[in-house]
Amino acid sequence: MSSDLHSLDGRKVLLIMGGGIAAYKSLDLIRRLKERGAFVRCLMTEGAQQFVTPLSAAALSGQPVHTDLFDRNTEAEIGHIQLAREPDIVIVAPATANLLARMAGGFASDLASAVLLATDKPVLLAPAMNPKMWENPATQRNLATLQRDGLHTVGPNNGLMAEAESGNGRMSEPLEIVDAVIGIVKTQGKTERPQLLIGRRIVVTSGPTHEPIDPVRYIANRSSGKQGHAIAKAAAAAGADVTLVTGPVNLPDPAGVTTIHVETADQMLAAVEAALPSDIGVFAAAVADWRTAKAGDQKLKKDGKAIPPLALVENPDILATISKSKAMRPQLVVGFAAETQNVIENAKAKLQRKGCDLIVANDVSLDNGIGVMGGDANRVHLISADGTVSWPTLSKDDVAERLVAHLAAILSTETQ
């Protein structure tokens, strides 16, 4: 998380608080933004005021809180337009299902929706809702519409909800939102990267998968998802229409990317198939090779007797399934090989076995000197039918940008 207490000096932030229990986190978000030098103004929907009071938000922000579209004092000066144009960035936290629907539909029936319709500034959404509401196709359609319109998203996270249900729908933590804000405002005013992939569709997988043993235990690995998420972000910056299918990670969703959260290998394969067709498929996820033949309905208990058997079956091979599919195969298929020995030799064998066009191989052994699993650096080798190219140790963001440029060059050559 960002620790630079001057990273938002002088930035003006409008925080729109939707009506959900997660609104209590938005009070801490105000404090975190101000700690980093931001000027924060708050707007609360009628629903938000059922969970936290305007007085609390005003006390933390040091500014009056806006609640009413038809306020006689502010609207005499066309207040909702001023609110829309004044900030450097608008944050919607919590972004409820209702708010997402109204934004996607272009409604302006209250102050929040009117401001969001009128603003020409970056908008960051921090969704928060019941897992079933989040998974509902209507919500996902609304979110996809807003992302296509250029709005940024962070979260939601997976975890226990207020109503004692568990799943995707928890609003991102305040510091996660702050980091997303910093990332967005840092790009304002900078020269845009070349749009090398404009008009292209890309599907990226990222993170681990969690294969349940029982309701509380699962089979997983040490993948952080940082490299896959960086690739999705770099592809979006290069102009591509990106769908990211990610297993459970502690990372914010990349801005400008349609992100689908899954847990198991079966779910990841289904989500990838639903996201096709695409021009490029980048399969960076560390998918668990095996799952239990039958996950327990209840927690397995130690009884001092025999250790319960753990029968395993193979998970679907997502990379091979897509690479060898005549109907679904992208023009360019990229796999990843995380190896602990004989890195290049094993990657070459994997290239042949999986039927993909390119393997990005790296050494994930504990003594590799850079701590790839969970770290911020990577050292990769690109394995293809044309040979092997080895890159020096780079940040995962730099690896992502170089890889995206490399893939764009391959597509350009193939289409000439």
All structural domains of the chain, each given as residue ranges with its CATH number in brackets, are 1-190 (3.40.50.1950), 194-416 (3.40.50.10300)
Is the pLDDT score of 325 beyond 90?
Answer: yes
Q: How confident is the model at residue 42 (pLDDT cuts 50, 70, 90)?
A: very high
What pLDDT, in 10s, does the model give residues 45-73? 999 999 999 999 999 988 889 888 766 55
The residue with tokens 């770099």 is 234
pLDDT for the residue numbered 1:
41
Which position has the token pair 């938002």?
A: 8
* Terminal alpha carbon distance of the chain: 44
> How would residue 408 be classed by pLDDT, with cut points 50, 70 and 90?
very high
Q: Average pLDDT, whole number, for the chain?
A: 87
Query: Rounded mean pLDDT of 160-186?
Result: 81
130, 158, 221, 346: which one is catalytic? 221
Residues contacting 195, CB < 8 A, separation 6+: 238, 239
316 marked among binding-site residues: yes
Which stretch of 98-102, 260-264, 269-273 has the lowest confidence by average pLDDT? 98-102
Q: Is 318 assigned to a binding site? A: yes
- Residue 319 labelled as part of a binding site: yes
* Mean pLDDT to the nearest integer, 177-181: 87
- As given in the structure block, the two tokens for residue 151 are 């709005």
Phi-psi region of 159 (alpha: psi -120 to 50; beta: other; left: phi over 0): left
pLDDT at 164: 67
pLDDT band, very low/low/confident/very high, at 75 (cuts 50, 70, 90)? very low
Is position 130 annotated as part of the catalytic site? no
Is the pLDDT higher at 229 or at 141?
229
Tell me the mean pLDDT in the region 301-330: 90
289 annotated to bind ligand: yes
Residue 356 banded pLDDT, cuts 50, 70, 90: very high
**Higher pLDDT residue, 392 or 315?**
315
Distance between CA atoms of residues 135 and 146, nearest Å: 16
363 annotated as ligand-binding: no
Among residues 356, 351, 363, which one has the least CA distance to residue 393?
363
Give the closest residue to 398 by CA, choosing from 376, 383, 414: 376
In this predicted structure, the answer to whether residue 190 has a pLDDT above a threshold of 80 is no
Least trusted range by pLDDT, from 51-65, 94-108, 286-300, 402-416? 402-416
Cross-strand partners of 159: 167
**Can you tell me the mean pLDDT for 69-94?**
70
Q: State percent of the chain over pLDDT 70.
A: 90
Residue whose structure tokens are 């509902």: 136
